[in-house]
Amino acid sequence: MNDSRVGTGIMIKYDSQRTLEGIAQVEKQLQDFIYSTEHLTSQFQHVFSELSGETIQQYEKVVRDYFQSAKLAETSIKTFIQLIHLVDTEIIEADRKSEKMFTNN
């Protein structure tokens, strides 16, 4: 962000590049999280296929609950990423309009 004092107002410049770089890092970490969760799911399924009994059924429930929570987190982060892209687009447009106001005076 950059502010330039122009006339009687302040023009604030939005740095979309930094926002998009930051969200790209979030997207990368999300992909790592998804891969890790899928890997854990596979490993647990393998272990569970070789075991039986009441204790393992209780353990399976705990693991299922964990993976449901992980899926919810994944969905929430994806929604957050979509919102950031939408906000970025809106701010760029507002920034463009603001710049026109200052340069047309």
CA angle 50, 51, 57 (to 5 degrees): 135
pTM for the predicted model, two decimal places: 0.73
Asked if residue 42 belongs to a domain, the reply is no
Q: What is the pLDDT of residues 4-58, one digit of tens each?
A: 555 566 767 789 999 999 999 999 999 999 999 999 999 998 888 888 888 888 8
Q: What is the pLDDT of residue 52?
A: 82
Question: Per the structure, how many domains does the chain have?
Answer: 1
62-75: b (≥16 Cβ within 10 Å) or e: ebeeeeeebeeeee
Model pLDDT, residue 9: 66
Is 77:26 a contact under the CB 8 Å cutoff? yes
- Residue 23, in any domain of the structure: no
Q: Residue 101 belongs to what domain range?
A: 52-105
Task: Answer whether residue 78 is part of any domain.
Answer: yes
